[in-house]
Amino acid sequence: MEYVHLGRSGLMVSRLCLGTMNFGTRAEPPVAHRIMDRALEMGFNFFDTANVYGRAVRIGLTEEVVGDWLSQGDHRQRVVLATKVFARTSDWPNEGGLSARHIISACEASLRRLRTDHIDLYQMHHVDRGTPVDETLEAFELLRQQGKVTYFGSSNFAGWHLARYQEHARARGTQGLVSEQSLYNLLSREVELEVLPACREYGIGMIPWSPLASGILGGAPGADHGGRRSDAGARERGAKHRDQLAAFEQLCREAGSQPSEVALAWLLAQPGVTAPIIGPRTEEQLTQAALGLDVQLGDAELARLDQIFPGPGGAAPEAYAW
């Protein structure tokens, strides 16, 4: 396993991040524990979760499953633990968003469920347009001063949101964000316009989610891979991109690699990408995903992938202007 710095921080993380969204629901706790055991054996040290994962059963279930595992042996010492805050945890006022009140109370709840005294990377799960940036940053700074959180990141931010937060943090004399989680894969390349350039400019590590586009880049369009979209939606999208996927799979056959491996290898080759998030439901899916680390794509293959899955044309504004 290769390890890299998370953005401009000194924190070292594995080149693949273990996503836990399926734990407790699509992967029962014993299976989830075996997946985490195996991931640790393989060298994964970067685990990602969120306070609302598991909500199909109950909010916080996934953090509880992860917390039970972290409490065993030296697991907590070996893992860079990331979780998120933003989504509503109840219908009661103030139980959602990025207000100081919600951030602090949500952090305390996550710490209890995760059975730990600190979170390594605490991430805003979405932008909150109703809360002042300085209020959110002040809450983060307080948690860091208390030793409850070490680093802060974001998810689903636009490029200008990243710039706004970093400039506010600079004015406050604080570190600001070290990472951004965004939808990024061969079929969804919009972040190349402004999000990725902002990440590179500010030293923010890019953590792509849904690297296999809900499974349809894994060689089985429309299959149930536990993705964020419905099975029907994945099938519809697979049908829409049938010709592209056929060309992609032909390239993979010529390269002697599985589609999932090539899709991950392509992401890992993109400047600014730190660690794509994989979300296995079985040990076999974990092992298969890790094979992407061994695939090296040449310039000709990368160019061919750009032809099959053309992006927005590069960074803004040259992508659409001069």
Question: pLDDT tens across 288-306, in order?
Answer: 999 999 999 999 999 999 9
Question: pLDDT tens across 154-182, in order?
Answer: 999 999 999 999 999 999 999 999 999 99
- pLDDT > 70: what percent of the chain? 96
| DSSP code, position 31 | H
Q: Which helix (H) or strand (E) holds 183?
A: strand 177-183
Residue 87, pLDDT > 60, answer: yes
pLDDT at position 219 is 78
Residue 119, pLDDT > 90, answer: yes
Q: Write out the two tokens for 221.
A: 């369009």
Question: pLDDT tens across 207-261, in order?
Answer: 999 999 999 999 754 444 444 445 677 778 788 899 999 999 999 999 999 999 9
Helix axes 159-172, 133-145, angle to 10 degrees: 60
pTM over 0.85: yes
Residue 308, pLDDT > 90, answer: yes
The residue with greater pLDDT, 232 or 205, is 205
* Helix ranges restricted to H, the chain: 29-42, 61-70, 75-78, 100-114, 133-145, 159-172, 195-202, 231-240, 242-255, 259-268, 283-290, 299-308
- How far is 49 from 142, CA to CA, in rounded Å? 22
- How far is 251 from 259, CA to CA, in rounded Å? 9
Nearest to 179 by CA among 122, 132, 128, 114: 122
- How far is 283 from 11, CA to CA, in rounded Å? 27
Question: pLDDT tens across 29-58, in order?
Answer: 999 999 999 999 999 999 999 999 999 999
Measured in residues, the chain has a length of 322
Q: Which CATH architecture has domain 3-308?
A: Alpha-Beta Barrel (3.20)
Question: CA-CA distances (angstroms) from residue 297 to 15, 200, 238, 271?
Answer: 16, 22, 24, 14
From 53, 122, 165, 184, active-site residue: 53
Q: If DSSP codes are grouped into helix, strand and coil, which group holds residue 210?
A: coil
Is the preceding omega at residue 317 within 30 degrees of 0, hence cis?
yes
pLDDT at position 231 is 64
Nearest to 201 by CA among 162, 149, 242, 234: 162
What mean pLDDT is predicted for residues 103-127? Answer: 98
122 is catalytic: no
- How far is 103 from 34, CA to CA, in rounded Å? 31
What mean pLDDT is predicted for residues 190-202? Answer: 98
Contact (CB, 8 A) for 248 and 217: yes
- Other CB atoms within a 10 A radius of the CB of residue 76 amount to 18
